[in-house]
Amino acid sequence: MELDISPQGTPRNPVLVVALDGWAGESPERIARVAEALAGSLRLSVGVLRGAVSPRLEPLLRALTLTLAEDGANSPMIVDHPDPEAAVRHLTDAVRRNPQASVALGRLLRQTAVPDTTAALGAEAAVYSMLLAGSEFRRWLTERGGPKPVNFPDRPLVRLDREADLLSVTLDYPERRNALSAPLREQLLEALRLAELDDSIDRVLLRGAGPVFCSGGDLDEFGTAVDVVAAYQVRLERGPWRVIDRLGERVSAQVHGACIGAGIELSAFAHRLVAAPDTYFRLPEIAMGLVPGAGGTVSVPRRIGRWRAAWMMLTGDPIDTGTALRWGLVDAIE
């Protein structure tokens, strides 16, 4: 189960496929030993199950990165798919394009499944910042053409509206699909801190102006960080998602259209998350040689479990509102 790494540091065997049918007949002691080895391996372990989900398999399901099955029995540890073998090939192809980021994500998701939000976000910020200096991100950035200049409008990018005890916070940069640029992030942080400091604000509603809620980080800014240590500190200290988490039950979010990357990562911290029927969700960072870095490795697994989160993050596949509601990523569709 060991990860084979080339002299250049590239994982040669990042994915381990485990056929689970038949394991229900094994002894509990053997299942426990294999589960322990799977949990400790750096390889991404993907279970494939054709038959019924047996309670005896739970230690293996819990230890695996994720499991694919025709019928997931609504378990958060299982991604249901009509053709699990085809799904394995699809996931493996995605991982092979960026194996370093993928392996880092697999280990990170095991570290962020802790109650301590600050510790979990610290782990995410460290991995994200490390990957900014990696070859996979540099390759993506080169193919894209590097950072591009952005001329921000001379107006607020976050709009605040106060009505009694309700503060509505609206991402208001529809020209760039409410992309989470550094200026928008800073303004959102200040808006949320206002709610945190003002005891007369009992409710905070997070929304987005225009056709989409948030299209993720502003890609034109990617590659501008030259000091990865500073990037780590900024991401951890200036992240608005930390404040959303601290505000707890006071925050709700309404999302619509594209809810990509940072869009779903920060809104998933809200106590109540409501999606319009046209919403879709996607976490595309692995394709860039990165991992989610706006709190998503903490907020998304808390809603849907680290196993389904791993599927979303490793493949970058979009999920619709029906799946999001069934998995628990959103609380309602309105």
Query: Residue type for 291, please?
Result: V
Give, in degrees to the nearest 5, the angle at Cα 128 between 127 and 131. Answer: 85
Residues 55, 204: Cα–Cα separation, whole Å: 41
Q: Is the pLDDT of residue 72 over 90?
A: no
Q: Is the pLDDT of residue 266 over 90?
A: yes
How much of the chain, in percent, has pLDDT values that exceed 90?
92
Q: Which helix (H) or strand (E) holds 321?
A: helix 321-327
Other CB atoms closer than 10 Å to residue 227's CB: what's the count? 12
* Residue 224 backbone class (left: φ over 0; alpha: ψ -120 to 50; beta: rest): alpha
Query: Residue type for 157, please?
Result: L
Q: In this predicted model, what pLDDT tens digit does every residue of 38-64 receive, in sequence order? A: 999 999 999 999 888 888 999 999 999
Give, in degrees to the nearest 5, the angle at Cα 38 between 82 and 284. Answer: 55
Q: In this predicted model, what pLDDT tens digit does every residue of 205-249 receive, in sequence order? A: 999 999 999 999 999 999 988 899 999 999 999 999 999 999 999
Q: In this predicted model, what pLDDT tens digit does every residue of 268-318 receive, in sequence order? A: 999 999 999 999 999 999 999 999 999 999 999 999 999 999 999 999 999
pLDDT at residue 165 in the model: 97
CA atoms within 13 A on the CB side of 119: 7
Which residue is it, tokens 């038959």? 51
pTM (predicted TM-score): 0.96
- C-alpha of 87 from chain center: 19
Read out DSSP for 6-44? -TTS-BS--EEEEE-TTGGGS-HHHHHHHHHHHHH-SSE
Residues 91, 79: Cα–Cα separation, whole Å: 12
Q: How confident is the model at residue 150 (pLDDT cuts 50, 70, 90)?
A: confident
- Averaged pLDDT, 86-96: 97
Q: Is the pLDDT of residue 181 over 90?
A: yes
Task: Give the full edge-to-edge strand order of the sheet including 203-208.
Answer: 158-163, 166-171, 203-208, 251-255, 272-275, 332-333
Angle, helix 296-304 to helix 306-315, in steps of 10 degrees: 130
Q: Are strands 280-282 and 319-320 parallel, antiparallel or unpaired?
A: antiparallel
Q: Are strands 158-163 and 166-171 parallel, antiparallel or unpaired?
A: antiparallel
Q: How confident is the model at residue 255 (pLDDT cuts 50, 70, 90)?
A: very high
User: 117-290+319-333, what's its fold?
Assistant: 2-enoyl-CoA Hydratase; Chain A, domain 1 (3.90.226)
Residues 109, 44: Cα–Cα separation, whole Å: 11
In the chain, CATH 3.90.226.10 sits at 117-290+319-333
pLDDT at residue 52 in the model: 84
- The mean of the pLDDT values for the chain is 96
Residues 196, 167: Cα–Cα separation, whole Å: 11
